[in-house]
Structure 1
Amino acid sequence: MLIGEVARHSGVSARMLRHYDALGLVRPTGRTVGGYREYSAEDVRRIFHVESLRSLGLSLKQIGRALDDPAFTPSALVGDLIQWTEDRLAREAELLERLRAIDASAPTGWQDVLRIVELMQGLNSTSAARRQQAILARPGDVSVPAELLAGAVLAESDTNVAGALRWALARSGGDGVATLAAGVHSEDVDIRRRAVLAIAELPEAPGATALLADALGDRDPMVRRQAALALGRRGVTAAVPTLVGMVVEGSNDVDAAEVLGTLSQDPGCADRITNALADELAVPTADSATRIRLAQALVELSGTPVREVLRQLAHDDDRAVALVASSFVGLLEERRRGCHKQGGRLVLTRDRPCLEEPMSAEHAHLPHGVEVITTLPGAADRIPAGAEARTVRVTLAPGDPGAPPHRHPGPLYGYVTEGEILFELEGEAPRVLKAGDALFEPGGDVIHYQGANNLADAQSQLVVTMFAPPGTPVLTVVSPEELAERRHLRVGG
């Protein structure tokens, strides 16, 4: 067969057949009298072998080795081809994603395209600081597709960068729910956690509540807890069992209690929540710390049944639980008398037991990651003239009872950084402060009764700043005689 006929039958151009001949890949067996290439049936078979191997992505050099070298086995070569093909597909998928992101941003000119490309490069940086800068420093007129931000949220492992991305996603003008929905059902638990946190900050996005409801059944407890908090804030009562469980476990129990309090404003849900908490209080295996947390959660609720449960708890056999419940009964009475008003928080102090602290305007628009934990009105009036500030770190081993009853020469303000502290001042019921809780102590004549590690198997720690006249001791231990004289001032004494 001459070259033209071979080209017609094989689909390989005459030019390519000449190229194969020049490389020695497929050389015709003979030539005509006139010098034209003449291909045998075996030559045509070799052409089809070459084309088959080309379809797998082999180079012509690799094809020559495959056909002529018996020691050249396909296993290693095919493995390399698979890896090369996967890499090429990944690059093309990345390019497609980038093009879609640019298209979704509706650019009006090439400058807009360049800005989106710059943002995408910043988000793909290996530096967390660079990724965070890319999202926070972008010009306000740059439209960023919500799906791009949602994808970045699911991939981000740095806590600070993730927070900035969620903030940007919530303000992007789109919802990104389609991408986040895939994250909710991912096999990777970290991706599911990131997805639920992001959806929680999209209260108006269509379909977000349904995704959170699905997450309530997730096998990961952290995913379930975050979904329950978000659903509870949206008024979804299906979150109640998980929220009650969070109080029992001590996992985000303060947040869970606040959400339960909000849900209890629905008359149809109030009794259900109260009964659920009361049932957990009655569990025989519940320890003191768990029952105190449940009592604290009850205070967030309202209504006669709550007061009755706390009144009964004030006579509990566990003294710490009884003291806390007794204190909470008094707190509810203050509320009933009208001390607690909408728009503020109830603040209890020694000299002003019912003080309304409005949320100040300067706290309303804080940057991401900045949170006012507590505010103490008139703090400057409590600091002695000429006082020095001392910052003290207290580390307590597991089960450490702390210092014996003592006094401090001036007021102190503190923050629990780790574990749990059983804290008691003269005139106040004992309470458990957990990591993240703030504390205040007036100092002076007030006796500090307890500052113990409430955990038997873990270290606890707090940091306090104390204001005291120079030269005075950090603390002075109170004698047994004075403790006996002032016992009537101790709650439950």
Structure 2
Amino acid sequence: MLIGEVARRSGVSTRMLRHYDALGLVRPTGRTVGGYREYSAEDIRRIFHVESLRSLGLSLRQIGRALEDPGFAPSALVGDLIRRTEERLKREQELLERLRRVDASAPSGWESVLRIVELLHGLDSPSPARRQQAVLAAPEEMPVPAELLAGAVLAEADPNVAGALRWALARAGGDGVASVAPGVRSEDVEVRRRAVRAVAEMPGDEADAVLAEALGDADPAVRRHAALALGARGADAAVPTLVAMVVDGVSDVEAAEVLGTLSLEPGCADRIVGALVAELAADSAVRIRVAQALAELPGTIAHGPLRHLAGDADRAVALVASALADVVGKRPAG
């Protein structure tokens, strides 16, 4: 069969068939009287072998080795092809996600597209310093889309980069809370912690609602972040968690300060005092922390409980409570 007929039946161009001949991959076994290439049935089978191997991603050099080496073991080559294909698919998936993120940001022009692509490259960097720089370098006149920042906030493990991202997300406004709120319901506890810290830095009723939901989270750290933020906003639903933080000695100073601020809300002071006093049956370390938290309350509302603690059987508790009671007693009545 002449080369033209082979090309027509096999779908391999005459140019490629000549290339195969030049490389020694498929050399026609015969020639016509006029010197034209003449392919036998075996030659044509070899052409199909070459094309099949090419479809798997083998180079022509690898194909030649596979066809000529009787001892060739394909398993290692196939394994290498699998790894290379997986890497290519991963790169293409990353490109697809990047394109989707650019599209979701609804860029208004090429300058916006380039800025977003630059930011995405920066956020994908393995260097925390580079990721942080990418966030902080955003120009004021070109705000970063909240959806993009929210995804980065929920994925970022480095505390410094996470702080920069939360700042940028709070500044972005728009749908910032809505974009990050799904993270509060994630099965991954680290994602929930990142999400609640981000929402805590955003104002508004929508943020308050998300934080209130987080107060019921199974993870203590999520509950604490939510309570500190809600208490600072005047939500008395945070009181039980804030008191528990004082008792547990986890961010107890911050919790006591928030309880002091929260006690200024109408009807909150007596509730807070009652919740703290209810913990005085605990060990001496807890009683000291409770005394310190009581002293954070404004006015003289905590003077009575502190005077009571000044007679505590534990000398350390008594000394701390007595000193704090003297300080509180000198304040103007609230």
Matches for 1:134-213 after TM superposition, within 5 Å: 134-154=134-154, 156=156, 159-174=159-174, 175=176, 178=179, 181=182, 185=186, 189=190, 193-204=193-204, 209-210=209-210, 213=213
SS in 2 for 1:144: coil
Question: Conserved in 2, the CA contact under 8 Å of 1:177 and 1:199?
Answer: no
Q: Secondary structure at the match of 1:171?
A: helix
Paired position in structure 2 for 1:243: 242
Q: Normalising to structure 2: TM-score of the pair? A: 0.73
CA positional deviation for 1:293 = 0.9
Q: Find 2:333's aligned residue among 334, 337, 356.
A: 337
Structure 2 CA distance for aligned equivalents of residues 322 and 225 of structure 1: 29
Deviation for aligned residue 1:294: 1.5
Contact 2:124/2:131 (8 A) holds in 1: yes
Indicate whether 1:289 and 2:285 are aligned.
yes
Deviations 1:293-318 (A, max 9, x none): 12222345589996664443232212
C-alpha distance in structure 2 between counterparts of 1:243 and 1:234, whole Å: 13
Q: Post-superposition shift, 1:90?
A: 3.9
Q: Percent identity?
A: 65
Partner of 2:228: 229
Q: In the aligned structure 2, how far is the partner of 1:176 from the partner of 1:43?
A: 67
Change (3 A) 1:54 1:243: farther
Quick one: which amino acid aligns to residue 294 of structure 2?
Answer: L
Task: Answer yes or no: is the 8 Å Cα contact 2:177–2:206 preserved in 1.
Answer: no
The alpha carbon displacement at 1:48 in A equals 4.4
Aligned residue for 2:63? 63
The structure in which a higher percent of residues are strand is 1
2:198, 2:116 → 1: CA distance? 22
- 2:299, 2:332 within 8 Å by CA — same for their partners in 1? no
Aligned residues: 331
Which of 302, 313, 321 pairs up with 2:317?
Answer: 321
2:302–2:328 contact (8 Å) kept in structure 1: no
C-alpha deviation, 1:225, in angstroms: 3.0
1:140 is displaced (CA, Å) by 1.7
Aligned-residue offset at 1:22: 3.8
**Contact 1:212 1:230 (8 Å CA) reproduced:** no
1:33-432 alignment runs, 5 A limit: 35=36, 37-40=38-41, 43=43, 45-123=45-123, 131-154=131-154, 156=156, 159-174=159-174, 175=176, 178=179, 181=182, 185=186, 189=190, 193-204=193-204, 209-210=209-210, 213=213, 217=217, 222-233=221-232, 239-261=238-260, 265=265, 267=267, 271=271, 274-283=273-282, 286=283, 288-300=284-296, 309-329=305-325, 337-338=333-334
Deviation at 1:321, TM superposition (A): 1.9
Answer 1 or 2: which has greater helix percent. 2
Letter in structure 1 aligned against 2:314: D
**Cα distance, 1:188–1:278 mapped onto 2, change above 3 Å:** closer
Query: Secondary structure of the equivalent of 2:142?
Result: coil
- Answer yes or no: is the 8 Å Cα contact 1:212–1:227 preserved in 2: yes
Cα deviation, 1:13-67, whole Å, max 9, x if unaligned, reads 5554444344333445656777464452x55554444344333322222222233
Question: 1:52 and 1:255, CA in 2 relative to 1: closer, same or farther beyond 3 A?
Answer: farther
- Aligned pair in 2 of structure 1 residues 39, 194: CA closer, same or farther (>3 Å)? farther
Alignment check: 8 A CA contact 2:105 2:147 kept: no
8 Å contact kept, 2:177–2:202: no
Contact 2:231 2:259 in 1 (8 A): yes
CA offsets per residue over residues 318-358 of structure 1, 9 Å max, x none?
233234334555565566724xxxxxxxxxxxxxxxxxxxx
Equivalent-residue separation in structure 2 for 1:282 and 1:57 (angstroms): 74
**Structure 2 matches for 1:429-468, cutoff 5 A?**
none
Q: CA RMSD in A?
A: 4.4
The answer to whether the 8 Å contact 1:184/1:215 transfers is no
Offset at 1:280? 3.0
Change (3 A) 1:6 1:139: same
Whole-Å separation in 2 of the counterparts to 1:107 and 1:165: 20
TM-score of the two chains, using structure 1 as the length reference: 0.53
Secondary structure at the counterpart of residue 172 of structure 2: coil
Question: Aligned equivalents of 2:193 and 2:64: distance in 1?
Answer: 52
CA offsets per residue over residues 128-179 of structure 1, 9 Å max, x none? 5555444434432123222333344455555444323321221013417546
